[in-house]
Amino acid sequence: MLNRFIAQTMPTPALTRRGFLKLSAGATGGLMLGAALRPVSAAAQGGVDGLATPFVHIRPDNTVVVIVKHLDKGQGTATGLATLVADELDADSAQVTTEFAPANTDLYANTLMGVQGTGGSTAMANSWQQYREAGATARSMLIAAAAQTWGVDPAGISIAGGQITDGSQSASLGDMAETAAGQSVPESVTLKTPDQWVYIGKSFPRVDVVRKSQGATNMYGMDVAMEGLVYAVSLRSPRFGGVLAGLDATEARAMPGVIDVIQLPDRATVIAESTWQAIQARDALSAEWDFSQAENRGTEELRAEYTALLDEEGIAFHSAVVSQADTEQVIEADYSFPYLAHTPMEPIDVTVRFDGTEATFWTGSQIQTLDQNIGAQVLGIDPGSVSIETLWGGGSFGRRAIYDSHYVAEAAMIAKAWLEAHGDARPIKLVWTREDDVRGGYYRPMHMHRVRAGLDADGNITSWEQRVVGQGIAIGTAFEQFMVRDGVDASSVEGLGEHSAYTIPGWSVDIHHPEVGVPVLWWRSVGHTHTAYVVETMMDELAEAAGADPVEFRLRYLTDPRARGVLELAIDKAGTVPDGLTRGIAVHKSFGSYVAEVADVRIREDGTVKVERVTCGVDCGVPINPSNIEAQVQGGLGYGLSAILREEITLTEGEVNQSNFYDYTPLRISDMPQVDVHIVQSTEAPTGIGEPGTPPVGPAVANAVRRATGTIVRELPFSLHGLA
């Protein structure tokens, strides 16, 4: 299996515990000026003149280019970073554009992750100070340049709307860019106060709308076209961990457009003149597989093993003092959550060119540091000889944040084999079909939970015992040293115990991490997708058993004022329940942000669920771009609703049953509710927003369904119960 090969051959990325902590400390310490912001020469910029720092390029044509260190896969990161720079620089929004940064961990590390990468809704949180200071620094240098040119006091110079003026003279940012490049980098800069913001917290146009609307070429990996390009499609084992034992490529090699068939340890790859020809030839390959080391269990076998583990004590994660009050009522419940695929609109793709000493990869890279290091390791060259050209991502939801960079490694193996066989450095585009991606693993892990919660005679919680069973995503990966503590993978228990917005008496949590050969990966909101569902549906059941209003009951245990605030905001904005609808609520904290969702649900005549409206209260700190926050909450909510209604990945004898959107059924436009988003005008530092809208929608809808029908949905998806 390819990821087994990677684990055996790749070194742990150059990320030590000390290095991680050092980089993480920068999240609150601000940007280190000097070398990090020092202008670079025109030669270093590829011949581009003007003022250039690692984060901002101001060119003589009056273009302000914000260098984006994070992947933008539709979540608006590029626009958010451009907003920060433009506001502190006082640029006109019309002159601002963006480019993705090269792979360079020293300059472009995510300060909350320690590697150059995007994930965990950290893009704005780790860049908030950094990009504002970059804009303010460039502004200071432009003012110094204008003062030198005009022979005036810099104190009398201002910038607004991209124009520099001293009251009698004016110039564009581009006019002063060359002179500014020769100025000294200031030791410190003063950032604007909120009352001075022009764009932050207000609006800034999406930097990608025009290019996407016009169908810009080479914007996405699927668009990449260049001279000499050939196309690769692979035949992979139908069971995870299967090894290629025999291959007959005779028919495939004879098909039109086929150039070569490359055999790797666990797959065979067709190289052809077009993707379609490669797909047709791939399907004509005849392969024999050795499944002796593969994952051969199906969903039913795994469920039986998980269920048995629910009866056994697991690794302790969290414990709290049990209330001394007598328990009068106990509610026990088991929950089951299936594997889920990411299914972004753009399946996996990467183009590679390797000449024996240097390599370039063009892809929507989500963790550039890993892609660069692993690509180099497979090719047998230094990481500095590997360039990662980050392209826009056509979605990801975690699918491109690969801890083993498996698709980059696969492309590297193909390129190396091609060079050895043909001796030329032709670019090769590796494409996964939709079916390849749905069947290819790296799913949200299957999980089970068991909860036993008690109430006293006054309807107060006395205890909450919770057991979790599920694969640990980081276990066995380069991320294990940071994400696994005392045998507990943080991704399986996030949102529980001390990580919750609730303070619940006697809350104890333990966990089992069974070994399963199905590759798993973080999926939009990761563990919060199942922990929030369990906690919020159980809170609703407890409230009913206590004879309490579900909002009032939650407020008893929501000691975090920000969590209380979004719940009260959402309830207030939702108003009265419309006739014929039933209401459910949920509130959850994830990625530092707080989201409450109020779902108004109708049960159709055929018994299926129609979510008519969801009202959201959101607190994600300073709302950098409110329209983007609204869009992300809407999208995240839709993604979560899609999962609970019909989505599931199942296996039979180790083989995935689903393949495309006809049998892995995502949300249809007719399923999408009206979504009203209300944002708290916070002064807290910005936190994540790409993911926090996802976790609350499932339990909010489930709570409404329970009230409307009496059906308690503890096994997802809803379609298993005839509700979707």
Using DSSP's 3-state secondary structure scheme, residue 181 falls into coil
Burial class (CB in 10 A: 0-12, 13-18, 19+), 558: buried
* Residues forming CATH 3.30.365.10 domain(s) in the chain: 31-213, 221-292+348-431, 299-340+442-721
CA distance 418 to 354: 9
Residue 256 has pLDDT above 50, yes or no: yes
Using DSSP's 3-state secondary structure scheme, residue 272 falls into strand
CA distance 560 to 576: 26
**Nearest alpha-carbon partner for 244 in 188, 194, 201, 293:** 293
Residue 516 has pLDDT above 90, yes or no: yes
| Partners of residue 454 on adjacent β-strands | 330, 463
CA distance 186 to 141: 8
Asked if 467 and 314 touch (Cβ cutoff 8 Å), the reply is yes
Q: What is the pLDDT of residue 478?
A: 87
Asked if 377 and 320 touch (Cβ cutoff 8 Å), the reply is no
| Stretch 613-621: mean pLDDT | 98
Residue 75 has pLDDT above 80, yes or no: yes
CA distance 128 to 680: 18
Q: What is the pLDDT of residue 3?
A: 45
CA distance 121 to 75: 10
Amino acid at 597: E
397: region left, alpha or beta (phi > 0 left; psi from -120 to 50 alpha): left
| Stretch 582-608: mean pLDDT | 98
Q: How far is CA 709 from CA 336, 702, 722, in A?
A: 20, 10, 12
Report the share of the chain in percent with pLDDT over 90: 90
Using DSSP's 3-state secondary structure scheme, residue 161 falls into coil
Q: What is the pLDDT of residue 22?
A: 31
Average pLDDT, whole number, for the chain?
A: 93
Confidence band (pLDDT; 50, 70, 90) for 216? confident
Handedness of CA 365, 369, 370, 375 (dihedral sign): positive
Which tens digit of pLDDT belongs to each residue from 412-462? 999 999 999 999 999 999 999 999 999 999 999 999 999 999 999 999 999
- Chain mean position to CA 283: 32
CA distance 399 to 390: 15
CATH architecture of 299-340+442-721: 2-Layer Sandwich (3.30)
Q: How far is CA 629 from CA 30, 83, 118, 198, 527, in A?
A: 24, 13, 17, 17, 22
Burial 396-429, CB ≥16 within 10 A → b, else e: bbbbbbbbbbbbbbbbbbbbbbbbeeeeebbbbb
Q: What is the pLDDT of residue 221?
A: 96
Tokens of 13: 């990325």
Which residue in the block uniquely carries the two structure tokens 């055999």?
263
**Domain 31-213 belongs to what topology?**
Aldehyde Oxidoreductase; domain 4 (3.30.365)
Q: What is the pLDDT of residue 26?
A: 31
Residue 549 has pLDDT above 80, yes or no: yes
| Stretch 15-30: mean pLDDT | 30
Using DSSP's 3-state secondary structure scheme, residue 308 falls into helix
Residue 300: CB atoms within 10 A of its CB come to 11
Which tens digit of pLDDT belongs to each residue from 97-122? 999 999 999 999 999 999 999 999 99
**Nearest alpha-carbon partner for 627 in 96, 346, 209:** 209
Tokens of 713: 């949905």
Q: What angle do CA 9, 12, 16 make, to 5 degrees?
A: 165
Using DSSP's 3-state secondary structure scheme, residue 654 falls into coil
Is this structure's pTM higher than 0.85?
A: yes
**Nearest alpha-carbon partner for 316 in 165, 193, 468:** 468
Asked if 100 and 391 touch (Cβ cutoff 8 Å), the reply is yes
* Cis bond upstream, residue 205 (ω within 30): no
Tokens of 67: 């260098």
The class that CATH gives domain 221-292+348-431 is alpha beta
Amino acid at 453: A
Which tens digit of pLDDT belongs to each residue from 357-412? 999 999 999 999 999 999 999 999 999 999 999 999 999 999 999 999 999 999 99
Tokens of 314: 């697991």
Using DSSP's 3-state secondary structure scheme, residue 668 falls into coil
190: region left, alpha or beta (phi > 0 left; psi from -120 to 50 alpha): beta
Which tens digit of pLDDT belongs to each residue from 23-59? 322 332 222 233 445 555 433 444 558 999 999 999 9
Q: What is the pLDDT of residue 39?
A: 56
Q: What angle do CA 436, 440, 445 make, to 5 degrees?
A: 145
Residue 185 has pLDDT above 50, yes or no: yes
CA distance 140 to 248: 66
Tokens of 501: 């917005």
Q: What is the pLDDT of residue 321?
A: 84
**Nearest alpha-carbon partner for 707 in 566, 571, 537, 558:** 537
Number of H helices, E strands in the chain: 20, 29
Asked if 232 and 412 touch (Cβ cutoff 8 Å), the reply is no
Q: What is the pLDDT of residue 332?
A: 98
Tokens of 397: 């939801």
Using DSSP's 3-state secondary structure scheme, residue 518 falls into coil
